[in-house]
């Protein structure tokens, strides 16, 4: 007997910092989306694909749901709305370790408006005492008719196999859309910029995480086959001159450390040696500049 396959799309939604990108990486078993402790880490839609004998799930990680203040943020949120149009399932991720507030309400309203088949994922349960979970589940259960409410830990992997089983259960039957080895649709060049930005976010505080970006100026693969070497030249954009010094650190030591950490990750990603050159550049008001935002693939 021919067993039919399941195939479909699931969008990962939630407020900033709820653990969406950590979840995507855990599900696909590889880092495709950067993670940090700062809200608004993810700025683009990131596809992550899993393919098994029973079928294929195309997940999309999205920027955290927030009220946009700059053109950049409007484009980020535009990408989220766009995503909601053509998907089979919504996975709403909430941080169960913090109390319900305006951010949770805002994300929930988006799901209510979209009226899509949705699973609610209570994330970070590794930080929550078990007896506290039931009231949280009941509270969310009243707000929307979720197909399931599943407590998970994206960080520890708790309940992720169950989650995958549930998703396959709810997906429609269909053919594979992507090659079985494909993990994401993002280019190595895009991922390189993101991996560098992750190292920047880890080291920056206050407004710098929001006002900086990474633009890969040159991604030279001409010596990849012969010398196993990729040359990457990237600009770190900041909004004000005074911020350049903060990124550089004393005697440019911070930029050097950042470059070393980023190169290590990039060599793992690209499976070759990487020569990385980083420059800090002031680009006033880049968050409202469509030319820069286009180069950053923002909103896509
Ligand atoms: N304890 C714990 N921490 C988690 C878990 N999942 C994610 N985190 C942490 O939460 C922080 C935010 O994780 P991200 O995956 O970047 O969150 P996000 O929802 O993608 O955030 P944005 O891209 O800003 O919208 C990081 O410090 C993660 O390590 C979890 O299950 N347990
Ligand atoms: Mg993210």
Q: Is any ligand 1 atom within 6 A of the Cβ of residue 39?
A: yes
Distance of CA 232 to the CA centre of its chain: 22
Contacts of 273 (CB under 8 A, 6+ apart): 227, 228, 229, 230, 267
Please, are residues 46 and 25 in contact by the beta-carbon 8 Å criterion?
no
**For residue 44, how far is its CA from the centre of ligand 2 (angstroms)?**
9
Q: Is any ligand 1 atom within 6 A of the Cβ of residue 28?
A: no
* Per-residue pLDDT tens digits for 116-166: 999 999 999 999 999 999 999 999 999 999 999 999 999 999 999 999 999
Specify the pLDDT at position 86: 85
Specify the pLDDT at position 83: 86
What is the full per-residue pLDDT of the chain (300 aa) written as tens digits? 567 899 999 999 999 999 999 999 999 999 999 999 999 999 999 999 999 999 999 999 999 999 999 999 999 999 888 888 889 999 999 999 999 999 999 999 999 999 999 999 999 999 999 999 999 999 999 999 999 999 999 999 999 999 999 999 999 999 999 999 999 999 999 999 999 999 999 999 888 999 999 999 999 999 999 999 999 999 999 999 999 999 999 999 999 999 999 999 999 999 999 999 999 999 999 999 999 999 999 877
- Where exactly are the structural domains of the chain? 6-170, 188-295
Q: Is any ligand 1 atom within 6 A of the Cβ of residue 202?
A: no
**For residue 154, how far is its CA from the centre of ligand 1 (angstroms)?**
8
Distance of CA 244 to the CA centre of its chain: 26
pTM comes to 0.96
| Cα distance between residue 159 and residue 152, in whole Å | 5
Pocket test for ligand 1, best of 14, 15, 22 (most atoms within 8 A of CB): 22
**Helix (H) / strand (E) containing 139:** helix 130-143
Residue of the CA atom closest to atom 26 of ligand 1: 37
CATH architecture type of domain 6-170: 3-Layer(aba) Sandwich (3.40)
**For residue 23, how far is its CA from the centre of ligand 2 (angstroms)?**
9
Q: Is the dihedral of CA 208, 76, 8, 94 positive or negative?
A: positive
**For residue 25, how far is its CA from the centre of ligand 1 (angstroms)?**
11
Specify the pLDDT at position 224: 97
Identify the burial level of 261 via C-beta atoms within 10 angstroms of its C-beta, where 0-12 means exposed, 13-18 middle and 19 or more buried: middle
Contacts of 20 (CB under 8 A, 6+ apart): 12, 13, 14, 33, 42, 61, 62, 64, 93
DSSP codes, 6-75: EEEEEEEEESTTSSHHHHHHHHHTS--S---SSSS---S-EEEEEEETTEEEEEEE-PPP----SHHHHH
**For residue 173, how far is its CA from the centre of ligand 1 (angstroms)?**
31
Name the CATH superfamily housing domain 188-295: K homology (KH) domain (3.30.300.20)
Please, are residues 40 and 67 in contact by the beta-carbon 8 Å criterion?
no
* Per-residue pLDDT tens digits for 225-238: 999 999 999 999 99
The CA dihedral of 92, 133, 22, 112, to the nearest 10 degrees, is 10
């Amino acid at each position: 007997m021919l067993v039919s396959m399941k195939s479909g799309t699931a969008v990962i939604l939630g407020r900033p910092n709820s653990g969406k990108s950590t979840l995507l990486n855990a599900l696909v078993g590889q880092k495709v989306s950067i993670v940090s402790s700062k809200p608004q880490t993810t700025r683009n839609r990131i596809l992550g694909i899993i393919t098994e004998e029973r079928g294929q799930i195309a997940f999309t990680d999205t920027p955290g749901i927030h009220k946009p203040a700059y053109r950049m943020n409007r484009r980020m949120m535009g990408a989220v709305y766009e995503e909601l149009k053509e998907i089979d399932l919504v996975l709403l991720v909430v941080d169960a370790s913090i109390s319900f507030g305006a951010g949770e309400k805002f994300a929930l309203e988006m799901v209510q408006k979209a009226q899509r088949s949705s699973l609610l994922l209570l994330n970070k349960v590794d930080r929550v005492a078990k007896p506290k979970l039931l009231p949280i589940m009941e509270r969310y259960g009243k707000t929307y008719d979720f197909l399931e409410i599943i407590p998970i830990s994206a960080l520890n992997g708790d309940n992720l196999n169950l989650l995958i089983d549930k998703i396959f259960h709810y997906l429609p039957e269909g053919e594979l859309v992507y090659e079985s080895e494909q993990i994401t649709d993002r280019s190595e060049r895009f991922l390189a910029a993101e991996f560098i930005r992750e190292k920047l976010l880890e080291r920056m505080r206050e407004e710098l995480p929001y006002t900086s970006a990474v633009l890969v100026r040159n991604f030279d693969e001409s010596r990849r086959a012969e010398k196993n070497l990729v040359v990457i030249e990237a600009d770190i954009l900041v909004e004000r001159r005074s911020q350049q010094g903060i990124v550089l650190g004393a005697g440019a030591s911070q930029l050097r450390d950042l470059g070393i950490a980023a190169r290590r990750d990039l060599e793992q990603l690209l499976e070759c040696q990487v020569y990385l050159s980083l420059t800090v550049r002031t680009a006033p008001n880049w968050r409202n500049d469509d030319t820069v935002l286009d180069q950053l693939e923002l909103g896509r």
